[in-house]
Structure 1
Amino acid sequence: MTTTRRTALVVCPGRGTYNRPELGSIIANIGANHTAAKHALAQIDQTRAALKLPTVTELDQAPHYKSTLHQHATNAAALIYAGGYLDYLAINQEQFDIVALTGNSMGWYTTMACAGCWDIATTTRLVTSMAELTAAGAGAQFIYPLVDSEWRPHPGYEAAVAEQLARHEGELYLSIHYGGYAVLAGTTEACQAAVAALPRVDDRFPMILPGHAAFHTAMMTNAADQAQQLWPAHLFHPPSIPLIDGRGHIWTPQAVNTAALQQYTLDHQVTQTYHFTRAIQVAVKEFAPDHIILLGPGAGLGGAVAQALIAMNWQGLDSKTTFAERQQAELPYILSMGIPQQRSLVAS
């Protein structure tokens, strides 16, 4: 690995990234001598215990993966946040200069934590609170591709999604622009009807996301209103590193209004479409990082990030094949900490 310090954009994953294969990974990834990560995990566990909830250590070290336990909203939120935050602490910052942070959906909270907008205890409580509030909302969420097998735009899939959004206007919404995928959400009835109507793709899609409500839609307005009462602006601090949010807006440390940051985080981010694709595209255009580092848990972000880059022909990326070839480099452009070989290139 080169000894030259290289710039990096760090990306935090969202819901649904701690699955059966990730069981045990959070503890396993903490190095024997990584004092900061051990201390952070102890604080997260202490806060969870005070809330009378299973600790991250207990969940991660459970003998078996149980969907009812690990995918329960408050537990999943803690695992996703803890996994991502501890991975962030593990990045070798003598090798990588982190120039910006972004994330997908719930990953925005991890992004805020990594940038120091909240302390560990506050973040742990907030992600638990937001999981409770949003999970209590009605509706469902599902995912559908907008690209072909080479990750290029597929007009037929795009038209099919547009047709369903028009047919169920006011009940079905575009929840997340997720690289080459559309994540849709809305009432259970509208989601079921759209899933039944959309053409099947690869025997997988459209795919209902278990345990997900109508996130990033107007159906979350009540959750957003409650969140703003529970988490006032004085608890927010300016980030230490530039952040790119779900609109593609850049929050520069020296110019952050914490009241605006609180309103975005607990209102717009909760009730409006999350444009992860735009966040990635703005980040690479504005900061031109040498690498993109994807935090765990899991390694599911890679495809969506690559698809966002292909859509703008970033550095000549124009297909899945081109991306795969580029990733064969000794030090790949995208480095996923959920992939052991790539993690070894990133972690201290």
Structure 2
Amino acid sequence: MKPTALALCPGRGTYQKAEFGCLRPFYHSDTLSQIDKTRRTLNLPTVSELDGADKYLPALHQQPANNAALIYAAGLSQFAAISRDDYQIVAVSGNSMGWYTAMSCAGVWDAALGTEVVSTMAQLTAGAAGKQFIYPLLDADWRLDPEKQALVAAQLQQQAPDLYRSIQYGGYAVLAGTDHAVTSAIAALPPLDERFPLLLQGHAAFHSPLMQQASAAALAKFKPEHWQQPNLPLIDGAGRIWPAGHNNLCELQQYTFGTQVSSCYNFTQAVQLAVKEFSPDHIILLGPGQNLGGAVAQSLIEIGWRGLRSKQDFVDLQQSATPFLIEAASLI
């Protein structure tokens, strides 16, 4: 009997210089052809041109509409390449922008519509107000640290109503808000690991009320008349499972372009709900990038999944004969 797997899609910012060229195995695939064709109709560079350029140019590759399309193309292409003879995919989810990739993986959108969505949403949200930053909530063993949690909670209270929880991302708090609120919170939080608080460059106040204008524009543009019922269960960032078939597509539209755009995306809860409900043998991490692994592991440690209680427990599991987390790139 083939092992079961949950597929997870990464969010914005995961196509970096290290991922340059990651689409090479898919240059002549049907999926990439559809994506490239749609990008041409939008008068935007194709993902094949971007990924196959002579060199990585941050000013080009990190443009929101380009970066989002590259991330989407990598995730969807890798998902299509997973051998269904080797794994039974039981559900799909994602972090932040990864929700859009998950929607295509589950068959709600084809590659063409998904490309239009991610390219358009990147433009709409990048032009919005505010900033976003990340701060760790963990101790050295990857367990939640009450003192760090209290520090973040205090800033949310002091900077209210201009600072918000943006993403619950494993052992990290991702906060978003007005420029002043974010700058004040970053100045107030004690530095950690010579890196945090980390301002996410090029990010507006994603997943916060400051995105309401972008949300309204998306709801007006992307109607569900031509969407399909998902062929796999989808786990969203608000603690809901959208089963395969028989969903209210208007509600799915409202969540996709309303709720998750302008309120907190709880990736931690999505992971925890998925493993509890579907009990997969593995989690397959779609690319590009490798940043999902830590947040997934931290989410599992928080609920003691498979007896995980610390970072070392997770390392031991991954070094066993049957690691729980698998990078999709390794299956291609």
Scaled to the shorter chain, the TM-score interval is over 0.9
Counterparts of 1:329 and 1:88, CA distance in 2: 24
Tell me which amino acid in the other structure corresponds to 1:276: F
**Contact 2:235–2:241 under 8 Å retained in 1:** yes
Counterparts of 2:57 and 2:180, CA distance in 1: 27
**Contact 2:134–2:197 under 8 Å retained in 1:** yes
Matching of residues 151-166 of structure 1 within 5 Å: 151-166=142-157
Counterparts of 1:252 and 1:73, CA distance in 2: 31
Counterparts of 2:42 and 2:309, CA distance in 1: 48
Partner of 1:11: 8
Q: CA deviation at 1:298?
A: 0.8
- TM-score, with structure 2 as normaliser: 0.98
SS in 1 for 2:237: coil
Counterparts of 2:23 and 2:289, CA distance in 1: 10
Matched, 1:316 2:307: yes
Matched, 1:337 2:328: yes
Matched, 1:65 2:61: no
**Contact 1:236–1:261 under 8 Å retained in 2:** no
Matched, 1:289 2:280: yes
* Deviation >4 Å, runs of 4+: none
Partner of 1:266: 257
Deviations 1:51-93 (A, max 9, x none): 1111101111122222211111100110110000001011111
How many matched pairs?
332
Determine what percentage of the aligned residue pairs are the same residue.
52
Tell me which amino acid in the other structure corresponds to 2:276: K
SS in 2 for 1:125: helix
Q: CA deviation at 1:215?
A: 0.4
Partner of 1:121: 112
**Contact 2:167–2:266 under 8 Å retained in 1:** yes
Partner of 1:174: 165
Deviations 1:135-175 (A, max 9, x none): 11010101100111210111121111001100111111000
Tell me which amino acid in the other structure corresponds to 1:277: T
Out of 4, 14, 17, the residue aligned to residue 20 of structure 1 is: 17
Tell me which amino acid in the other structure corresponds to 1:8: A
Matching of residues 224-239 of structure 1 within 5 Å: 224-239=215-230
**Contact 2:100–2:118 under 8 Å retained in 1:** yes
Partner of 1:34: none
Partner of 1:136: 127
Q: CA deviation at 1:236?
A: 2.3
Matched, 1:300 2:300: no
Out of 148, 157, 165, the residue aligned to residue 139 of structure 2 is: 148
Deviations 1:96-132 (A, max 9, x none): 0000000000000000000110111111111111111
Partner of 1:189: 180
**Contact 1:26–1:297 under 8 Å retained in 2:** no
Gaps of 5+ in 1: 32-36
Partner of 1:210: 201
SS in 2 for 1:192: helix
**Contact 2:64–2:123 under 8 Å retained in 1:** yes
Tell me which amino acid in the other structure corresponds to 1:56: V
Tell me which amino acid in the other structure corresponds to 1:307: Q
Tell me which amino acid in the other structure corresponds to 1:13: P
Q: CA deviation at 1:46?
A: 1.1
Tell me which amino acid in the other structure corresponds to 1:17: T
CA RMSD in angstroms, aligned pairs only: 1.1
Counterparts of 2:36 and 2:110, CA distance in 1: 14
Tell me which amino acid in the other structure corresponds to 1:262: Q
Which moves more between the two structures, 306-315 or 225-234? 225-234
Matched, 1:53 2:44: yes
